Amino acid sequence: MLFSSIPFLYYFLPAVIVLYIAAPKGIKNSVLLLSSLFFYAWGEPRYVFLMLLTVGLGYILGLLIDAFRGKFLSKVFLVLSVAISLSFLGYFKYADFFISNFNAATGLSVPLLRLTLPIGISFYTFQILSYTVDVYRGDASAQKNPINLATYIALFPQLIAGPIVRYTDIEAQLTKRRHSFEKTAYGIRRFIIGLSKKILFANTLGELGEFFLASGDKAILFYWLFILSYMLQIYFDFSGYSDMAIGLGKLFGFDFMENFNYPFISSSITEFWRRWHISLGSWFRDYVYIPLGGNRVGRTRLFFNIFTVWFLTGFWHGAQWNFIVWGLYFGVLLTLEKFFLRGFLAKHKIFSHIYLLFLTAVSFAIFSGNNLSQSLSQLYGMFGFGDIPFVSAEFFYCLRNYGIILMIAAISATPLLRNIISRFENNKQFSTIINILEIPALLILLIVSTAYLADGSFNPFLYFRF
């Protein structure tokens, strides 16, 4: 079940809100847990049992890690927890990748498993890992109530597309949550904005992408138009889902971390990754990079740490070589910035923004393919390799039909509109007008988004690979 769907918006979510409000305080988590399991089972009925199994194992191992804290057995149970969690992830997500590469290397024909990837497995696996690691470190106490732990892991607002929520961030909120009119109003506002970003921007730009991929009249500028629209589509799709998750969290009293902060205004790749998918970057920093030694090591070991993190970041995104290349590509760029380019980029702001947008466009070309061959084909087209014309009739067709939405989306991907509204809000007279207009504006966005969904418009789910 997608957030951007009629069943979720007008059946599931209202029913859950009513049940949650009506439930006594002591069983509100039970209501959220049962609702989350139903939400997951709607799309993955077989794999809801896998989730319950991983939650149960995480609960038991967390208790054992805590019970033997400071002793050798605590580390044994931590290693067991990590091994089990990564084994499930590896089996379902990466088994066919390893079999395919084994077959290619040996000439054998070991049959592929062709498993359906459980939706959200990468997200909830990382949440279980962070929980058991934090218990081992002493940053959190083991959760004695299995309902509370299961609610944290399975909570439907952040289950399928993040942000990756740390147990330590919401440990207290699992038992003591603050509800208020202001928090609820903010949650509704944030959800509708996220829904609008997904439906009106991401889905519309996705139509352009589908047209490009089906086109037999490709050209250099058409490739660039596709990649620029794809960059914005991914941003509005993913940040829209994060907005919806944060908004839904507020409705039920949870405060989730921000996941995006206008990444395309960055002036370096380093800054870009501080603003893009913040929860993933901070997870790898705290649970991989720093335990490896971080930057408090010699240069050779530092290179190893950086490239290990970015290899894993790429591989986390998908079981294809283009994702590994994508991750290592960022590893190279971040290393160059760390040792050579930081000062130069800081002094040349205009160049640094152009540099950032160009290199991220290349990264999205690598990311966009279903395999490395498709990614290379995108790059060849962007840089004119082969017998490819500079422009084509279909490029101009797409530019006419999608140029305005591309321009609006590009502006909306910056804080320009937010800054303008903030300035007006500082003026008492304009602030009153904005407050009056906000509710009808949000209602219009909801109605328009609903109309698109009712019309059966293009509504892809981009995170099935995760």
For the stretch 252-275, what's the b/e string if a residue is b when 16 or more beta carbons lie within 10 angstroms of its beta carbon?
Answer: bbbebbebbebbbbbbbbbbbbeb
Active-site residue among 277, 317, 348, 353? 317
- Report CA torsion sign: 213, 219, 225, 230: positive
Give me the residue label for tokens 């910056």: 414
C-alpha distances out from residue 32 to 24, 363, 427, Å: 12, 38, 41
* CB-neighbour burial class of residue 139 (10 A; exposed 0-12, middle 13-18, buried 19+): middle
CB 187 within 8 A of CB 249: yes
193 half-sphere exposure, CB direction, 13 A CA radius: 16
* CB-neighbour burial class of residue 114 (10 A; exposed 0-12, middle 13-18, buried 19+): exposed
CB 202 within 8 A of CB 406: no
Q: Does residue 157 have a cis bond before it (omega within 30 degrees)?
A: no
For the stretch 399-412, what's the b/e string if a residue is b when 16 or more beta carbons lie within 10 angstroms of its beta carbon?
Answer: beebeebbeebeeb
Long-range CB pairs of 35-42, under 8 A, 24+ apart, other chains included: 35/156, 36/151, 36/154, 36/155, 36/156, 36/159, 37/154, 38/12, 39/1, 39/12, 39/156, 39/159, 40/119, 40/120, 40/154, 40/156, 40/159, 42/1, 42/7, 42/12
317 in catalytic set: yes
Structure tokens given for 379? 């790059």
Q: How far is CA 252 from the centre of its chain?
A: 21
Residue type, 86: L
Structure tokens given for 86? 């990564």
C-alpha distances out from residue 406 to 137, 207, 373, Å: 47, 12, 27
Rounded to 5°, the CA angle 280-284-290 comes to: 150
Q: Give catalytic residue positions.
A: 317
